[in-house]
Structures are given as structure tokens and as C-alpha cells.
């Protein structure tokens, strides 16, 4: 088989890139190691920057999102059970959309079905060859048979553990990482959200977040040791701890119920550079991971797709290599800005091992300053709703 762009990874970034390429007549093939049902069952973040919203709309993917998503014009921050609101609309004339990554992925699969795009699931043993030549190809296995795909360009949308980044020589690739000494214990429940906007809570007992998926589906998180067993966190224990960390009014109004999903996720900041080697491009989690505190993971993947799509469109339609040559530089610049914001939110809102009373007071003073300063709130809002591409 031959294609112009081979894409490893059938998650939202790979699907979106294929969708955009198809709209301008550039063919692609997607390889995904998991089944379609598995991809669609992943529970992921749900806050979309407005640039992501507009990109989905402009590519014909916004119909269901606009019907079922929730526009948020601000968010709440709290410290020691007392909170305040940051008004995005007032400060930076912008907003975000709450619409789950699972739903975005479902919309992308539906669009792919309509155009009969080639998506090959359940592949194994992908190997990448001749990345720095015009004769690039990959080998994969499916159902015990070996296959080959020749391509002009290869997009690695295969996540942190995928094969794409590992194909870049260690003397070329630079990696930057910080692993945080805690995780997020997340609970999904069929209960109405406690607030119409997200609540981020700093507390001496640890971080908490109140989020939502729809009017009757809520997502809540508390900081917890990654090593904790889920058996330690029965539903009652979780709800009791959450109430201790969030604003008093929210705790009083919280509707609890049986959890339908519960997991503990580790937190890390990770960046790999360069994001391009020869004709291989890293996209999304293959190149960078951010803690979910800043709601940037999916949005960074979308911005990578934007830069790569524009580069490939320029190459095929105008015979220019400028976008390809600048992809890593442009994408990485935005990545690092988002990494900084996610790092700031994580260090500001969580309790770290051996944290002293002084450290806690500094965090509380920082939040107090943010509450009282329009300039500080504007900086926060600008980063939260998403920096321009």
C-alpha cells in the first residue's frame, strides 16, 4: 500500500489530521494498535480551548459539540474552602467549551465513516524505516500477516509509549521531564454537577477539582498518592474527603452517588525536542505530556495538528517546504508556554511532600493576589482559554 501521509495512532489527533488532509485532497492511512471500541472507551479530559472549538467547527465537526457542549465563561478557584471566580469573558473576551475528549473522538470516527477513510485497527509490531529519505515505509502485522505501507510523510500520533518518538536517535532527541509525587484520584458519577463551572481547590489536605461531562454526569478529582489502592477509596471515603477540600457552599450542595468509574492517574510534565526528524513528525502525547491541571493535553495535540496540517497543505498544494521545516519550532514554542502554565497551576494548587506551613501560606497568598488583581486574572484567563496559534 502507498499513501501520502501515514498516521500512527487512531486517537483524536490522528483522526483530526486525517480529516483535515482529506478535505484538501491529501490521502492518508491510520494505524491503531487498539480496537475502535477500546479507543472510544477511554475516559479523558473535557475542557476545549476556544481555538480547538473553532478548529472543529471550521472543519465540519462542531454540530454535536454545539448542541451538547457547555460554554464556560469563567472558572472558580478556592483556597482553604473559600473561593472566587475568574471571568474569562470580561477579562479577555473569550471562553472555553466543556465537551469530553471521548465525544470528540466519536465525532471524528463518525466523520471518517462517512468519507470511508482507511483506519486499520489491532495492528502489532510497527517498525519505521528510511525516515530521512524519500523512500520511507513502515512494516506492521495484523492477524499474523505482515504488511508494508510506503509514505511521503509519517505523523506519530501514537502517545507517550508509542513507537514514533523511539525511532528518533538518542543523540538527536532531547527529553525534559518532571514527575510529580502524587496523582489524581478521579471519580465519574451519574449526578448533577455541583457547579455550573469548574472549581479548582487548593487545600492543606491536598488539591481537588469539580468538573462535569453533562447535566447528569459529573467528574471529580482529589490529589492522592499514585501508590494508593482503589480499595482504599470506597465511594463514601472519596465523597467525605472531597467535601473537606472544596468551598463550603459547594460542599453543602454536593450531590453524591455511586461511582461508575474510578481511577488514579499519575502526573508528569514531559517535552521531547525536536518534534520533527526527517519526514517523521511527532504530534500530541508522542511529543509532550502535561499534568491535567491546566486542561491542555488534548488542546496541545490539536495545535500540533494545526501546524502540521498547514505545513503539509503548503507542501502539496504550493510545493513549499517552509511549513515542514518550521513545524518543530512553531509547535514547540506553543507547547512550552502551555507546559509552563500547567506547571504553575500544579505547583500552586497541590500539596507537596514535606511542604511546610510557610509553603502553604505562600500558595494561599498567591491565590489571594490572584483574587484581588485584575492584571493577574487576565494573565490566568489568557492562558486558560488558550494562547493563539
pLDDT of 145 reads 98
Q: Is 2-45+100-177+268-346 assigned to CATH 3.50.50.60?
A: yes
| Residue 84, C-alpha cell as written in the block | 472566587
- Is the confidence at residue 252, as pLDDT, over 70? yes
At 314-366, the pLDDT tens digits run 999 999 999 999 999 999 999 999 999 999 999 999 999 999 999 999 999 99
Full 3-state SS string of 249-294: HHHHHCCCCCEEEEEEEEEEEEEEECCEECCEEECHHHCEECCHHH
| Residue 62, C-alpha cell as written in the block | 462542531
Instruction: Give every CB contact of residue 236 below 8 A, 6+ residues apart in sequence.
Output: none
pLDDT of 42 reads 77
Catalytic residue from among 72, 288, 313, 330: 72
| Residue 267, C-alpha cell as written in the block | 502526573
- Is the confidence at residue 254, as pLDDT, over 90? yes
Maximum CA pair distance of the chain?
64
Find out whether 222 and 238 touch, Cβ atoms under 8 Å: yes
Band (pLDDT 50/70/90 cuts) for residue 46 is confident
Q: What is the pTM of this model?
A: 0.95
Query: Where do the domains of the chain lie?
Result: 2-45+100-177+268-346
DSSP state for residue 11 in the 8-state scheme: S
> What average pLDDT does the segment 64-86 reach?
96
Measure the CA–CA gap between 324 and 310, rounded to whole angstroms.
Answer: 9
384 is catalytic: yes
Coil, strand, or helix at residue 333? helix
At 52-70, the pLDDT tens digits run 999 999 999 999 999 999 9
315 is catalytic: no
Its sign, for the CA torsion 299, 300, 306, 309, is: negative
Backbone angles phi, psi at 6, to 5 degrees: -95, 140
pLDDT of 215 reads 87
**Which residue spans within 80-207 are E strands per DSSP?**
82-87, 96-98, 118-120, 124-129, 137-142, 145-156, 174-189, 199-202
Catalytic residue from among 33, 288, 296, 313: 296
Measure the CA–CA gap between 355 and 205, rounded to whole angstroms.
Answer: 11
pLDDT of 301 reads 97
Share of the chain above pLDDT 90, in %: 96
- Is the confidence at residue 45, as pLDDT, over 70? no
Distance of CA 222 to the CA centre of its chain: 19
> What average pLDDT does the segment 154-161 reach?
97
At 107-134, the pLDDT tens digits run 999 999 998 889 999 999 999 999 999 9
At 2-43, the pLDDT tens digits run 999 999 999 999 999 999 999 999 999 999 999 999 998 876
Total count of residues recorded for the chain = 389
296 is catalytic: yes
| Residue 172, C-alpha cell as written in the block | 538527536
Share of the chain above pLDDT 70, in %: 99
At 181-220, the pLDDT tens digits run 999 999 999 999 999 999 999 999 999 999 998 889 999 9
Catalytic residue from among 140, 200, 307, 315: 200
Measure the CA–CA gap between 389 and 387, rounded to whole angstroms.
Answer: 7
Find out whether 255 and 295 touch, Cβ atoms under 8 Å: no
DSSP state for residue 351 in the 8-state scheme: P
Catalytic residue from among 247, 288, 292, 330: 292
Amino acid at each position: 500500500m502507498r499513501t501520502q501521509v501515514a498516521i500512527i495512532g487512531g486517537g483524536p489527533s490522528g483522526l483530526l489530521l486525517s480529516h483535515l488532509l482529506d478535505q484538501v485532497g491529501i490521502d492518508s492511512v491510520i494505524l491503531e494498535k487498539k480496537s475502535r471500541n477500546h479507543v472510544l472507551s477511554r475516559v479523558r479530559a473535557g475542557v476545549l480551548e476556544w481555538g480547538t472549538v473553532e478548529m472543529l467547527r471550521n472543519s465540519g465537526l462542531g454540530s454535536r459539540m454545539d448542541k451538547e457542549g457547555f460554554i464556560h465563561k469563567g472558572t472558580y478557584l478556592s483556597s482553604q474552602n473559600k473561593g472566587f471566580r475568574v471571568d474569562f469573558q470580561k477579562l479577555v473576551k473569550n471562553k472555553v467549551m466543556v465537551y469530553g475528549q471521548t465525544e470528540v473522538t466519536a465525532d471524528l470516527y463518525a466523520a471518517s465513516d462517512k468519507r470511508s477513510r482507511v483506519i486499520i485497527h489491532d495492528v502489532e509490531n510497527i517498525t519505521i524505516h528510511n525516515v530521512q529519505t524519500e523512500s520511507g515505509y513502515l512494516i506492521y502485522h495484523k492477524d499474523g500477516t505482515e504488511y508494508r505501507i510506503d509514505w511521503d510523510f509519517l505523523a506519530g500520533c501514537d502517545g507517550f509509549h508509542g513507537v514514533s518518538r523511539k525511532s528518533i536517535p538518542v543523540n538527536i532527541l532531547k527529553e525534559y521531564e518532571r514527575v510529580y509525587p502524587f496523582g489524581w484520584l478521579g471519580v465519574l458519577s451519574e449526578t448533577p454537577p455541583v457547579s455550573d463551572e469548574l472549581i479548582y481547590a487548593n487545600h492543606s489536605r491536598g488539591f481537588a477539582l469539580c468538573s462535569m461531562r453533562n447535566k447528569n454526569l459529573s467528574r471529580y478529582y482529589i490529589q492522592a498518592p499514585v501508590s494508593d489502592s482503589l480499595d482504599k477509596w470506597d465511594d463514601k471515603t472519596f465523597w467525605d474527603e472531597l467535601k473537606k477540600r472544596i468551598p463550603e457552599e459547594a460542599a453543602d450542595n454536593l450531590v453524591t452517588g455511586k461511582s461508575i468509574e474510578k481511577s488514579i492517574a499519575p502526573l508528569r510534565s514531559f517535552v521531547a525536542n525536536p518534534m520533527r526528524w526527517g519526514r517523521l513528525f511527532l504530534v500530541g502525547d508522542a511529543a509532550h505530556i502535561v499534568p491535567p491541571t491546566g486542561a491542555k493535553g488534548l488542546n496541545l495535540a490539536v495545535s500540533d495538528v494545526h501546524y502540521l496540517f498547514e505545513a503539509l497543505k503548503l507542501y502539496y498544494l504550493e510545493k513549499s517546504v517552509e511549513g515542514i521545516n518550521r513545524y518543530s519550532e512553531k509547535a514547540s514554542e506553543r507547547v512550552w508556554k502551555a507546559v509552563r502554565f500547567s506547571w504553575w497551576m500544579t505547583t500552586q494548587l497541590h500539596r507537596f511532600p514535606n511542604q511546610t506551613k510557610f509553603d502553604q501560606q505562600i500558595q494561599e497568598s498567591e491565590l489571594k493576589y490572584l483574587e484581588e488583581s485584575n492584571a493577574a486574572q487576565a494573565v490566568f484567563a489568557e492562558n486558560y482559554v488558550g494562547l493563539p496559534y
